[in-house]
Homo-oligomer: A and B are copies of this chain.
Amino acid sequence: MDISEVRHRIVATADELYNAKGIQSVGMDELRTAAGVSLKKLYQEFPSKSSIVMAVLERRHESWTDGLDAAVRQASGPRAKLLAIFDYLAGWFCQDSFRGCGFINSFAELGAVSPEVAEYARKHKESFQEYVAGLAGDAGAPPYLAPQLSILAEGAQTTAAIAGSPEAAGQARQAAEVLIQAALGRVASTVPAAVVQ
């Protein structure tokens, strides 16, 4: 379909621009030019800017989910799968285009003024937490581990974004190793309780 190809190009371009400059800083005209679409076609595909924003958030959610899941599936063993989250973050942070989590950013920019955006960001984070909880459950971890790892992942994202360096991923990963070890050590009962580093 031609129509959905145009839609896709608009959303992909908006994603790039919104990520690079923030949502409110990118006007419809700039988006129109960058996507190479006429203003008429743009408003033919989307009724308003806010609908484009929501489409971008959906795209980001899929991209995040797919990328994370691919990284996790590639890892073998439940502990490795939990740590794969942080390897995925490390790869992301090293991209030139990385400017922080798009949901945190859009929530910061529009969450107070747009209930849709706030709600979508909340659901995205919730789905991530549930995903981590699933992995932690597979590893036989007690329920408190998953929120701890989720918080580490969130912190790594904002730290890396503001510092402009990817090292937070490795630091979060090391912390995750300790937390996983502490939470699972009991279960893997014969192993000595904790080995630092």
Binding site for B on A (CB under 8 A): 20-22, 24-25, 99-101, 103-113, 118, 121-122, 125-126, 144, 147-148, 150-159, 161-164, 167-168, 171-172, 174-175, 178-179, 181-183, 185-186, 192-196
Instruction: State how many angstroms separate the Cβ of A136 from the closest Cβ of chain B.
Output: 13
Q: Contact between A194 and B182 (Cβ–Cβ < 8 Å)?
A: yes
Contact of A22 among B108, B157, B163, B194 (CB under 8 A): B108
Q: Indicate how many identical chains form the complex.
A: 2
Cβ 8 A contact of A151, one of B111, B122, B155, B186: B155
Contact B104 A162 (CB under 8 A): yes
Inside 8 A of A194's CB, which chain B residues have their CB? Answer: 182, 185, 193-194
Bound CA–CA A113/B185 (angstroms): 47
| Least Cβ–Cβ distance between A34 and chain B, in angstroms | 15
Known contacts A24-B109, A101-B158; 11 further A-B pairs (Cβ under 8 A): A21-B112, A100-B108, A104-B108, A125-B163, A148-B171, A151-B172, A157-B158, A175-B179, A178-B179, A193-B194, A194-B194
Bound complex: CA A148 to CA B22 (Å)? 28
CB distance from A27 to the nearest CB of B (A): 13
- Give 3 closest A-B pairs by Cβ, nearest first: A155-B155, A194-B194, A108-B108
CA distance A24 to B168 in the complex (A): 29
